[in-house]
């Protein structure tokens, strides 16, 4: 994670160069076959917000993407060996960049491999995935765990092929207990097994 954080810092120097390539990349994506998500809300994204929030993997050609390619290859190789489809990303303390890495990694994998990546914001105490992507949400994982929504009702595709997010939803008291509840066990099992070919990345709360 330290290498990725250093890459993020260095990548800031490349923002001017990335901005000049945004339009060209947008046209390229526009020509690709975008998967159809029949039960998933598709929302537009603002590329300026992604750039300002250091979602550099969206723009592909920069220093961070090189670091992410190495990381994603190691992760995919490991998952294939154990026949797994789930990654949990956490950190010792808040503010160490785990959410930023989770988003960039998810987009990087979705761009490279022919499989859908589902990024779940499981940090109910301090959710940030939707903010980094510039998406307004009113429901999410917390609503599912409280049995006030079904999981397919809170899925969002931020106009990036093969990339879906489950936002955390509204902040609720006792989020730690909610994540350890029997309902949470059922929900996460469903997320992992409903579509075995889908890669699931969980952005979890920090340990401390």
Domain boundaries of the chain, sorted by first residue: 2-20+35-203
pTM for the model stands at 0.81
Q: What percent of the chain has pLDDT over 90?
A: 62
- The average pLDDT across 21-36 equals 39
Report percent pLDDT > 70 for the chain.
Answer: 81
- If you compute the radius of gyration of the chain from its CA atoms, what whole number of angstroms results? 16
How many Å apart are CA 54 and CA 42, to the nearest integer?
22
Per-residue pLDDT band for 76 (boundaries 50, 70, 90) equals very high
182-191 pLDDT, tens digit each: 999 999 999 9
Residue pair 176/167 in contact (Cβ under 8 Å)? The answer is no
Residues 138-158 pLDDT 10s: 999 999 999 999 999 999 999
pLDDT of residue 23: 38
CATH of 2-20+35-203, one of 3.40.640.10, 3.10.580.10, 3.40.50.300, 3.40.50.720: 3.40.50.300
What pLDDT does 2 receive?
Answer: 59
Helix axes 98-112, 2-11, angle to 10 degrees: 80
Rounded to an integer, the average pLDDT of 74-99 is 93
Residue predicted with more confidence, 73 or 7: 73
Tokens representing 25? 């990349």
Residue found under tokens 């550099």: 56
What average pLDDT does this structure show over 61-88? 88
**Residue 69, pLDDT score:** 85
């Amino acid at each position: 994670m330290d290498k990725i954080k250093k890459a993020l810092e260095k990548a800031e120097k490349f923002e001017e160069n990335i901005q000049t390539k945004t339009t060209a990349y947008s046209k390229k994506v526009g020509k690709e076959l975008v998967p159809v998500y029949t039960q998933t809300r598709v929302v537009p994204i603002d590329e300026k917000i992604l750039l300002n929030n250091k979602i550099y993997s969206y723009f592909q050609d920069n220093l961070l993407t090189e670091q992410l390619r190495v990381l994603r290859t190691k992760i995919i190789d490991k998952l294939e060996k154990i026949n797994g489809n789930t990654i949990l990303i956490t950190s010792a303390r808040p503010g160490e960049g785990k959410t930023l890495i989770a988003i960039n990694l998810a987009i990087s994998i979705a761009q490279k491999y022919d499989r859908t990546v589902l990024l779940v914001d499981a940090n109910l105490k301090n959710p940030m995935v939707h903010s980094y992507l510039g998406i307004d949400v009113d429901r999410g994982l917390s609503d599912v765990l409280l049995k006030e929504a079904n999981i397919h009702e809170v899925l969002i595709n931020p106009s990036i092929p093969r990339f879906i997010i489950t936002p955390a939803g509204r902040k609720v008291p006792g989020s730690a207990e909610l994540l350890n509840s029997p309902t949470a066990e059922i929900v996460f099992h469903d997320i992992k097994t409903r579509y075995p070919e889908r890669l699931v990345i969980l952005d979890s709360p920090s340990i401390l």
